[in-house]
Structure 1
Amino acid sequence: MPAFPRAELDDMVGYWLAENEKCEQNGDWRPLAELYTADATYGWNIGPQQDFMAVGRDEIRDLAFGQEMEGLEGWTYPYQRVLVDDRQGEVIGLWKQIADARRPDGTPYEVVGIGGSWFRYAGDRRWDWQRDFFDFGNVSALYLDMIKADALSAGMRARIQKATSGKPLPGFYQQGQAPVPIW
């Protein structure tokens, strides 16, 4: 893993955070795919049986930032901390997941716990790979709370319906079967 000047990594992190905010405001994260190398990979684990993996910039755009963000328009993912390792060219960003819907007491629906992204930098304002981590149990619990409170947007209802249809979705693999390992 190559080392990069700290100033270059700090510049990339600042650029990444600004682009994330633009995408949140527009409700479309697909433009972020341009910040990955053509052969980058982006994946995460979905509990004990399943992984998600997008391979290449097109899949990152269409699957990770397209399919997997459908229904989450209006949600925000504010970064709480960013840790930079310039010796290995890696970055870890810790974020929250906050829904656009509010509870009866006025507070937003929010995934409890810590979510994060682990990136490896490739230079030239591009990530080589990204791995996300979050507590799937807390995500599921939040979705269930929102369903019970009838607090889901139409897009979120469509997302859940698609995910529970029984039809396989692109990018999802039995654990350990993805074309690129999580580790």
Structure 2
Amino acid sequence: MPAFPRAELDEMVDRWLAENERCEHAGDWRPLALMYTEDATYGWNVGPEQDFMAVGRDEIRDIALGQEMEGLEGWRYPYQKIIVDDRQGEVIGLWKQLAEATRPDGTAYEVPGIGGSWFRYGGNGMWSWQRDFFDFGNVSAVYLEMIKNDALSDGMKKRIERATSGQRIPGYFRRGQAPVAIW
């Protein structure tokens, strides 16, 4: 892992945060794909039996930032803390997951716990990989609460229908069978 100048990594993080916020407000995260190398990978674990992995900028754009963010328009992921390791060229960003919908008491639906993204910098203002981590059980509990309270957007309803259809969804692999390992 090459070392990178701290100023270069800090500038990358600043650009990332600004573009992430812009995409969040637009409800379209696909433009973030331009911030990854052509051969970048982006993955996360989906419980004990399944991983998600997108390989290459096109899959990151179309699947990780497109398909996987569909229905989450209006959700916010504010970064709470950023840790930069310039010796390894890696960044960890810790974020919250907040829905646009609110509970009957007026509070936002929020996934409890800590969510985060671990990035490896590839130089030239681009990430070479990203690995997300979050508590899938907490995400499921918030979605279930939203279902019970009839607080799902139409897009979220479609997400859940897709996930429960029994059909293979691009990017999802049995644990250990993804084209690139999480680690």
Structure 1-normalised TM-score?
1.00
Tell me how far 1:159 sits from its aligned partner: 0.7
2:65 maps to 1:51: no
Q: CA RMSD in A?
A: 0.3
Write the letter of the residue equivalent to 1:162: R
* Equivalent in the alignment of 1:137: 137
- Aligned partner of 2:121 in structure 1 is 121
Question: What is the alpha-carbon distance in structure 2 between the residues aligned to residue 174 and residue 120 of structure 1?
Answer: 24
Shift of 1:105: 1.1
Unaligned runs of 5+ in 2: none
Structure 1 position 103 matched with structure 2 position 103: yes
Amino acid at match of 2:33: A
Alignment partner of 1:83 is 2:83: yes
Matched, 1:15 2:15: yes
The residue that corresponds to 1:147 in the other structure is 147
Q: Aligned partners of 2:48 and 2:152: how far apart in 1?
A: 26
Aligned length: 183
One-letter amino acid of the structure 2 residue matched with residue 137 of structure 1: G
Letter in 2 for 1:31: P
**Residue in 2 aligned with 1:168?**
168
Q: Which residue of 2 aligns with 1:25?
A: 25
- Alpha-carbon distance between aligned partners in 1 of 2:110 and 2:70, rounded to the nearest angstrom: 17
Unpaired runs of 5+ in structure 1?
none
CA shift for structure 1 position 57: 0.1
Secondary structure of the equivalent of 1:112?
Answer: strand
Amino acid corresponding to residue 124 of structure 1 in structure 2: N
Q: Give secondary structure in 1 for the equivalent of 2:145.
A: helix
Q: Secondary structure at the match of 2:19?
A: helix
Corresponding position of 1:71:
71
The percent identity for this pair of structures is 77
Structure 1 stretches of 4+ with a deviation exceeding 3 A read none
Q: Which amino acid aligns with 2:42?
A: Y
Amino acid in the other structure paired with 1:97: Q
Match of 1:77, as an amino acid? Y
